Amino acid sequence: MSFVSLRSIVAPLAGAAICLALSPRPGATVKDPTVARFVARALTVSDAKDSGPIEILIQRWSTDDDLENLRAALLARGAAFQRARPEAGVVLMPGVQSLGARVLARRTLPIQFAREIQTPAGRQVVIATDQHLGFGEPPARTQVVIATDQHPDSGERTGDVPSPEPEFTLLDIRFGPDGNGVGKMAPAAKVAYNPAKKIFEIQNYAAQPVRLSEVKSATR
């Protein structure tokens, strides 16, 4: 089984495990496995309109070794996450609207890297993944379940959509003194290492479009 197909199986299971752990159980004390949780609104790419809720669950902050390994991989223009490591968390994406209940549920995408720092302007959280974070984009890569009369036993069939290749994406979220933040995204070619901050961030951040608005910490 290939790396890509294995990740497509493991990622939803990891997300389901997190959601299950967060669900209350009668008579039991549940320990929240997340170290940070953020809620936000995605904006459409075409006209910056509200595209639905986004939730980010951080299970662990990446170490200095994780930072150096990512830095070396990006400098070498190789695969950013070559070695298997525990996931840093997950992003919960809106489901696909108007295509049936099976694709309406939120999608879970893994996070391989998560780092936070405090700056004079406020908190900065940087997240990296080998998945395409399609905030506000048409869900073209989502496997679609299509109702059909061709299979009377099941009443539906699954469209065979090829699994996407790994695609490095960096999400750079910056919070103001009031605790509200905005998030912007960039591929590896538009990411730079800031030695003063010891963090990766988006080049020419101010010129990039906002992809997440109303970002707030919701850590319980």
The domains of the chain are located at 3-23+33-217
Classified as helix, coil or strand, 35 is coil
Q: Which residues contact 81 (CB under 8 A, 6 or more apart)?
A: 70, 73, 112, 113, 130, 166
Contact 86, 136 (CB under 8 A): no
Could you give the 3-state DSSP secondary structure of residue 14?
helix
Read off the pLDDT of residues 78-109 as tens digits, 9 standing for 90 and up: 555 655 467 899 999 875 544 444 444 567 88
Average pLDDT, the chain: 74
Residue-wise pLDDT tens digits, 130-183: 888 888 776 554 444 333 334 444 444 444 444 445 688 999 999 998 899 999
CA angle 202–51–213, rounded 5-degree value: 45
The pTM of the full predicted model, rounded to 2 decimals, is: 0.70
For residue range 22-34, list pLDDT tens digits in order: 444 555 455 667 8
CA-nearest of 42, 31, 85, 36 to 56 is: 36
